[in-house]
Amino acid sequence: MTQRLDAVAAFQAEGLSAKARVLATGLRKIVPEAGFELAAKDATAWIHAHEALRLLEGTISILEGWNGSPDEVFISRAASASPDSPAGEAMSDVPADHLGILRPADDGTLQLLATLDPAEQLRLTGWLRTFTRA
C-alpha cells in the first residue's frame, strides 16, 4: 500500500496541499489504511481518505483529523455550522457550499485555515478516488 500511495501525485488547492499516505490503526494488529496528510498554513493533519469521501459526498458534515496527527484539525461544511458555534463564528463569511479547514486556537475559538469551493471539492473527490477503493 505504501508504494501505491507514494506514487499518487499531491493535491494542491488555494491555501492547502495534500499528499497520500498510509495511516496505521489497531492496538494488537496494525492495519494500514489509506489516508492523506493535509497541510494548511502552519498546520498539518492526517485525514482518513474514506471519511473524507463521506464528507465530500454529504454523508457526514464534519470530519476530525486522525488521532495522533501533528495538529488538531477539523473540516466542516459552512452550511452545517451553527452561527453561534465556534465553527460558525470562524466561517461566518464563508459561502454555505464551501468546506472550511479549522484548527482550535489557544483562546478556545476556531481558526479558519483554508476553504474549498465546490470545484475544488470535486477535484479533491477525484483525487481521493485515485487511491481508495469503494
Residue 133 has pLDDT above 80, yes or no: no
Among residues 38, 119, 42, the alpha carbon closest in space to that of 74 is found at 38
d(CA 114, CA 39): 10
pLDDT tier at 2 (50, 70, 90 boundaries)? confident
Taking the model in full, what pTM does it have?
A: 0.91
Q: What is the mean pLDDT of residues 57-71?
A: 93
